[in-house]
Structures are given as structure tokens and as C-alpha cells.
Amino acid sequence: MVLTLPADYWAPLFRALGKLDLQGGHLEVVLDFDGTLAPIVAIPSRAEADPDIHAVLPRIMADGTLTVISGRPVTFLVEKLAFLASLPGSDRVTFYGHYGLEACDLAGNAIASWHLDPSELELLDELRASWLAEPIAGVLFEDKINSLALHFRNAPDAREELLDWLEMNLPTRGLMIRPGKMVYEVTPVSSPSKESIVERVASRGSVAVFAGDDVGDAGVFRLFNAQRAKGLARLSILVKGGFETPPELLSLCDIAVPGPKELAWVLDQIHRAFFPSR
């Protein structure tokens, strides 16, 4: 990696690494996609992993295990990270889409799926129809089949109107809102939580590292803090991404970096510390 960071990044990193037992064992790296591996963009479908991320992921998957968990469908992750498919360790990569509703390997072969409450999906269908009949100008509607994402990045002034619309149209039970960076995502209550998926995945490694960027990652940061208090080797990284990052996340993570490029640098340093002879 050619990226260098200011000197004040080293001390927090070394303190965080000092909390881990790096003498052998298995390294499990779990990463979000949007805002973590890829910069946030106005049109979500155009998100691309940072070039420095392209450089460091092959090293991690060659020596450890790599999991990417996202609100996107697994088909999106397979497409965006297809360059990993022909590399050593490709059999140790797993994608979780829709926050864990579906899982697949690098080739797109299904590994597992989550079954949602049919009655909640009917409520989602009704909400979808309500939106299509009465959309809010400037709000980007992203239909993820098992969830609906309402992006107001291109219309920040529409936030209050969008909240009012959700308050009027969202049923009192069955569906929930997952707030994110300039987006509100509506999902069935029976959807898996991100932290439940990460907890299961992280248990495979003697050392587990997680990186995320949004309010939906707070539960994982708290999980890792609780697990480390019990003696487990856990490290959490917040990819800040500017003013949109909820301030409370800064108090929950072990390390905070400005963006995906800096995350690549930190992951490289973690890999070097864990595998000094590689």
C-alpha cells in the first residue's frame, strides 16, 4: 500500500492492536459496502469500491476470512467485487445481502436465506403502492423487493416531508425504519439484525475486525465492545465519511478513519501485524 496517513493515526491504531492477541489464530474481517468499501454516491447503483480497497482485500482473503454484509442484494456485491473471484482464498469469501436475508459465495451460489413473515411482506407491498401513487419530488425510491429505500440525498429539504409521509403511511406494527445516511429504509420486523449476522460470522475467528459507517452499525460496535470485555479479540473501525456520520458512533468504535481509502491503509496495517512474515 502506498497510502500514508498523519502521525496521529498511528497511536490509536497501535492502542487498538494492543487489545488483540495477534499470535496466530484465525483472522475474520467483516466489512460493510456503501460508505465503507465504496464512497457514498448520489446514485447508489454507481457505487464502486475504492482502488486501494481493491489492493488490500486479496491479501486479507488469502490469509484470513472475508465477509461483506450490506443492505444491497447479493447480486450487487457479486458484480462489484467480481475481481476477487479468481484470486487465492476466493472460497473464504461470503456476501450477505439485505443485511443478512440472503447469503452467497463469490460465484453467486446461494449459501443461506432468511424467511420473512408473509403478512409483513403484504404490508410492505401496500406501502410500496402508496409511495408509487404519491411520491415526494426529489426523493429517490429504491425497491429492494424485501425492503424499500427512500433516499433524500438529492433533496435534503424533503427530509421532514418524508418523515411526515412515513408517519402517516407506515403501519403501527410489522414494518420498521432503518435510518441511514440521507436515507430511510423500511424493512419487515422479521428481518435479521446486522449485529446478529456479524456475531455469528465473527465467532469463526480468534480475531475479528469489523468496519462500518452508519447508524445501523452501532449495534455491531456495541457487540464488539461487550465481547472484548469478555476477553474476545475484537476490533471495530468507523469510516466517518464527513458530516453525515452520526456523532455517537465515534464513542463506540476503536478507530475512526475519514473514508474507504484510509480504511484500506488500516486494514493493510492489521494484516501486516497479524501476518508479519507475509
CA–CA dist 71, 34 (Å, integer): 9
Distance CA 69, CA 263 (A): 16
The answer to the question of residue 43 being in a domain is yes
Specify the number of domains making up the chain: 2
Are 203 and 96 members of one domain? Answer: yes
**Does residue 6 carry a pLDDT above 60?**
no
Residue 138 banded pLDDT, cuts 50, 70, 90: very high
Residue 77 has pLDDT above 90, yes or no: yes
Closest CA to 97 of 186, 33, 142: 33
Single out the residue in 137, 160, 188 at which a domain terminates: 188
Among candidate residues 188, 223, 247, the one where a domain is terminated: 188
Residues 149 and 242 in one domain: no
pLDDT-derived band at 122 (thresholds 50, 70, 90) equals very high
The answer to whether residues 224 and 210 touch, using CB atoms and an 8 Å cutoff, is yes
Candidates 185, 187, 200; CA nearest to 112 is 200
State which H helix or E strand residue 263 sits in: helix 260-274
182 and 215 assigned to the same domain: no
Among 31-45, 119-133, 165-179, the minimum mean pLDDT is found in 31-45
- Choice between 72 and 210, residue whose per-residue pLDDT is larger: 210
pTM: 0.84
The grid coordinates of residue 42 equal 448520489
**Residue 51 pLDDT greater than 60, yes or no:** yes
> If you average pLDDT over residues 80-91, what whole number do you get?
93
Phi, psi of 177 (to 5 degrees): -100, 130
pLDDT tens per residue across span 186-206 = 999 998 889 999 999 998 878
Residue type present at position 235? L
Secondary structure class of 197 (helix, strand, coil): helix
Task: Tell me whether residue 133 is in a domain.
Answer: yes
Does one domain contain both 134 and 220? no
> Cell numbers 452508519 label which residue?
214
CATH of the domain at 156: 3.30.70.3080
Q: Are residues 29 and 144 in the same domain?
A: no
User: Does one domain contain both 27 and 100?
Assistant: yes
Last residue within a domain, chosen from 188, 211, 236:
188
Q: How many CB atoms lie within 10 A of CB 90?
A: 16
DSSP 113-163: E-PPPHHHHHHHHHHHHHHHHSPPTTPEEEE-SSSEEEE-TT-GGGHHHHH
- 15 and 88 fall within a common domain: yes
At 48, give phi and psi (nearest 5°): -135, 140
**How many angstroms separate the CA atoms of 126 and 157, rounded?**
26
- pLDDT over 60 at 9, yes or no: yes
Does any domain span residue 69?
Answer: yes
In the predicted model, is pLDDT for residue 24 greater than 70? no
Residue 222 belongs to some domain of the structure: yes
Whether 123 is covered by a domain: the verdict is yes
Q: Is residue 1 assigned to a domain?
A: no
User: What CATH number does the domain containing 33 carry?
Assistant: 3.40.50.1000
pLDDT confidence bin for 273, thresholds 50/70/90:
confident
Is residue 239, in this structure, part of any structural domain at all? Answer: yes
Task: Calculate mean pLDDT across residues 67-91.
Answer: 93
Collapsing DSSP states into helix, strand and coil, what is residue 9?
helix
For the cut 80, the answer to whether the pLDDT of residue 278 exceeds it is: no
Assess whether 84 and 199 both reside in one domain: yes
Q: Give 115's pLDDT tier (boundaries 50, 70, 90).
A: confident
b/e map 144-171, b = 16+ CB within 10 Å: bebbbbbbbbebeebeeebeebbeeebe
Taking the C-alpha atoms of residue 154 and residue 224, their distance in angstroms, rounded to an integer, is 34
Cα 230 from Cα 257, distance rounded (Å): 26
Specify the pLDDT at position 2.
44
What was the pLDDT predicted at 186?
96
The pLDDT of residue 137 is above 90:
yes
pLDDT of 21 over the 80 cut: no
Same domain, yes or no: 41 and 163: no
Tell me how crowded residue 21 is: count the other CB atoms within 10 A of its CB: 11
Tell me the backbone φ, ψ of residue 207, rounded to 5 degrees.
-125, 125
The whole-number average pLDDT for the span 115-123 is 94
Domain coverage including residue 167: 118-188
For residue 34, give every residue at least 6 positions away whose Cβ sits within 8 Å of its Cβ, in sequence order, or none.
40, 44, 47, 70, 71, 72, 213
Whether 164 is covered by a domain: the verdict is: yes
Same domain? For 17 and 93 the reply is yes
Pair 212, 106 in one domain: yes
Same domain for 174 and 206? no
